[in-house]
Amino acid sequence: MGVFKAYDIRGLVPDELNTDLARRIGGAFAQLLGARRLVIGRDARTHSPEIAAAVIDGVRGAGTSVLDIGLASTPMAYFAIGSQTCDGGLCVTASHNPGEYNGMKLCSEGARPISAANGILDIEHACAGEPASPAAERGTLEQIDLLEAYTDHVVSFCDLDVPITIAIDAANGMAGYTLPSILERLPQVRAECMLMEPDGTFPVHEANPLKEENLDGVRELIASTGARLGVGFDGDADRCCFVDETGRTVPADLMTALLARDLLARKGAVPVVYDLRSSWVVKEEIARGGGEPIRDRVGHSFIKATMRERGAAFAGELSGHFYFADNFTTDSGVLAMISTLNLLGREENRERPFSELVCDLRRYHATGEINFRVEDKQGAFARLAETYTGGRSDELDGVTIEFGDLADADWWWFNVRASNTEPLLRLNLEAKSAETRDRRRDEIVALLGEPVA
């Protein structure tokens, strides 16, 4: 069944994911956890109510009670799972995928992620077999509105005490559901907003802020309002991307470095996790601030597990996920936004443009992530190994090789890894100079083939 992915469940409705399968997933999920009560939330896609209702029916049929929180962003669902008495839960969402898709993000107790490695494949196996016999007694159903409690939780992270204007593009996603009540409680945040009405058809643009064209609206809003920064959210609001006052995108790895620098100045020497695609700047800034830089595999399940194991306070990924230990060790676009506002509002930063705060972090030259459709992945890795010898390498996730010393003008490194979610190889490369970046990028493109969009 193609809907069972590395980190979630996702597919076209109804061809790949329908109410019958959703019902079976609900029952299998409840049995996997041996759960007494599960939280179920959903996004605003047109078919989310029926998919969620089917999941709830399956969970209750397995004898497990349900706490139905209704409409919710994924971070709000994480909050519900982390704060309520339950054994886990799921949010019906397909994140940034187009409106014809739907899916589920699943957690066990304490909002710990369930991935292919620890449960999704078991659910797939259960769904492929004979339907389980219903429990002798159906689970109960309780419906609850947690928006006010979630708002209290988010607002508690804000220590901004000066007015700041920010441009926000909710992309017709679930940030538009949770943000109004949050912003109402934060009058110092002067928000200029667009596409705040949740609409699961995403009529204006794709709810994926990693694509530069999807930030054009927030750039225009910055220009017309004089906002100090802008932020674009994805469909379920667990990711976001930032734009400075000039309209220039601030890559998520540089945001990780910036937020880590601020956190370490306030909390002292704490571990910070970052994914191995991130700029060398991230490692340098964490170490410079007295923290412990921890480089990790790509993917939220790995990042969250490492944060818990190492006691990390914060983590960031190149994909725009920002993780907070004080938020049940989960990712939240809204908390990343508030953390950035807090930083801009600090006395030493109040008169400084956002672009100036980021400027010293742009000291290396990165390609961004480049994707290749490669049938023979092992052959591709073999060609890379034959071509690039003599560097310092590791295989934490794919292959990473570093060449030269950081002081050298021609220092560079690259990582090539197989996507966990698509049939692709992904390249990230960074160099001391733009010339070295471009030359080395072209070499690797010649080895791997024409990039795909």
Q: Residue 414's domain is classified under what CATH number?
A: 3.30.310.50
CA atoms of 283 and 271, how far apart (whole Å)? 11
Task: Give the C-alpha distances (Å, rounded to integers) separating 288 from 117, 206, 417.
Answer: 35, 38, 28
Boundary (domain end) residue, out of 359, 388, 418: 359
CA atoms of 52 and 407, how far apart (whole Å)? 55
Q: Are residues 355 and 375 in the same domain?
A: no
Q: Are residues 97 and 215 in the same domain?
A: no
Contact indicator for 420, 448 with CB cutoff of 8 Å: no
* DSSP result, 403-430: ES-TTSTT-EEEEEEE-SSSS-EEEEEE
Contact indicator for 336, 249 with CB cutoff of 8 Å: no
Under 8 Å CB-to-CB from 249, ≥6 apart: which residues? Answer: 212, 215, 241, 242, 243
Q: Are residues 380 and 265 in the same domain?
A: no
Mean pLDDT of the chain: 97
Task: Answer yes or no: is pLDDT of 225 > 80.
Answer: yes
The domain of 421 spans 365-452
CA atoms of 8 and 113, how far apart (whole Å)? 9
Under 8 Å CB-to-CB from 379, ≥6 apart: which residues? Answer: none
The answer to whether residue 4 sits within a structural domain is: no
CA atoms of 349 and 370, how far apart (whole Å)? 34
Which helix or strand (DSSP H or E) is residue 262 part of? helix 252-267
**Number of domains within the chain:** 4
CA atoms of 254 and 236, how far apart (whole Å)? 23
Which residue in 321, 259, 318 sits closest to 286, CA to CA? 259
Q: Are residues 310 and 279 in the same domain?
A: yes
Catalytic residue among 95, 278, 279, 339: 95
Residue 104: band (very low, low, confident or very high) from pLDDT cuts 50, 70, 90: very high
CA atoms of 81 and 90, how far apart (whole Å)? 8
Under 8 Å CB-to-CB from 29, ≥6 apart: which residues? Answer: 35, 38, 55, 58, 59, 88, 90, 106, 123
The answer to whether residue 2 sits within a structural domain is: no
CA atoms of 269 and 366, how far apart (whole Å)? 28
Query: Collapsing DSSP states into helix, strand and coil, what is residue 327?
Result: helix
Domain of residue 303, CATH code: 3.40.120.10
What angle is formed at CA 296 by the lines to CA 396 and CA 41, rounded to 5 degrees? 125
Task: Answer yes or no: is pLDDT of 93 > 90.
Answer: yes
Task: Answer yes or no: is pLDDT of 1 > 80.
Answer: no
The answer to whether residue 3 sits within a structural domain is: no
Q: In one letter, which amino acid is 285?
A: E
* pLDDT the model gives residue 59: 99
pLDDT tens-digit series, residues 127-140: 999 988 999 999 99
Helix axes 333-345, 252-267, angle to 10 degrees: 60
Q: What is the mean pLDDT of residues 245-251?
A: 99
Judge if the upstream peptide bond of residue 75 is cis by omega within 30 degrees of 0. Answer: no
* pLDDT the model gives residue 301: 96
pLDDT tens-digit series, residues 355-397: 999 999 999 999 999 999 998 999 999 999 999 999 999 999 9
Q: Is 83 a catalytic residue?
A: no
The answer to whether residue 27 sits within a structural domain is: yes
Query: Collapsing DSSP states into helix, strand and coil, what is residue 271?
Result: strand
Boundary (domain end) residue, out of 81, 113, 145: 145
Q: Are residues 241 and 291 in the same domain?
A: no
How far from each other are the two terminal CA atoms of the chain, in whole angstroms?
26
Q: What are phi and psi of 304, to 5 degrees?
A: -65, -40
Q: Are residues 257 and 168 in the same domain?
A: no
Q: Are residues 217 and 265 in the same domain?
A: no
pLDDT tens-digit series, residues 169-216: 999 999 999 999 999 999 999 999 999 999 999 999 999 999 999 999
* pLDDT the model gives residue 453: 81
The answer to whether residue 66 sits within a structural domain is: yes
Q: What is the mean pLDDT of residues 12-41?
A: 98
Q: Are residues 258 and 348 in the same domain?
A: yes
